[in-house]
Amino acid sequence: MKINTAANPAFNRRGAVFGAAAIACLAYCLTVFFILQKALAPGSGDLSGALQAASLALPPALLAAGLFHVYLLAKLLKSLTGRFINSLFVLLVIGSGILLVSDITLLSDIGKEYNRFDVSGQWAMLYAFTAFHLAVVIIGAALLQKRKALTADSGGSEAVYISVHHIALISGVLGVAGVFLAMSGAAVPLRYAAGFMVVLSVLALIPLVLILVYWRLRAKRKKERTMMDEKQFSDTAIAALLAALPVYILVCTLDLLSAFSLPASFFILLLFFIQLIVFSSVVLFKNR
């Protein structure tokens, strides 16, 4: 059933107001960040009362932006089309929402460390994350205003099935990238590589877990007897077979030939994400 925005103008108005508020909150955060960066310098002394009040408003502003992410995600999940660009934007909204939490952590770290350490790296991350949030919110707010852009169950069960595998494929790619990033030692010292790899792997899997939960809840709400039809079951079985045995043979052969040498934890996670990529790629290939 399509959402008739012409008959229900409050839909567009609500999205426009909520989106504008989120944009304003993020713009406010950027402005305060610039001012705080100049004020939080070693030996600068205490912040003025006005600046302290402005900084206290940052968490509520980030929270408001986060609520818009939840609102936007709910609309996007109800209007999955099965197109890759649609699935990618769902993942970007989830990623942006997760990074909003890290913004608060970064601000806390800056407040504790600015007087003793160089925190320019944390500021750079804050600006980059906030720019990312702004881009996602602006695109999302614009999307909410298009009559045909968000329609309830626009693609049906097939679109949800394809979108799940789009996100699984992207999560797999992000997971492999996370393992190699941790191994490289470029982001954190190698002694912290294992923990850093686990964190990146969890972050890569969060979008997949959320879309799977939505898929299950949707099927339950619609009282569907199965989440997949016979063809989808068949495609999934073939993909699972191809993702298992051949990948194990390839990776084990490379390991026996000493083509690479990894600690067990790195090896297991790398193998898992490679299998996820192969599994989703096969499903998507058979449903192209």
**What mean pLDDT is predicted for residues 105-132?**
86
178-220 pLDDT, tens digit per residue, is: 988 888 877 778 788 888 888 889 999 999 999 999 988 888 8
Angle at 12 between CA 9 and CA 13, to 5 degrees: 80
Please state the separation of Cα 264 from the chain's center in Å: 27
pTM above 0.85, yes or no: no
Contacts of 251 (CB under 8 A, 6+ apart): 267, 271, 274
12-49 pLDDT, tens digit per residue, is: 677 788 899 999 999 999 999 998 888 777 666 666 77
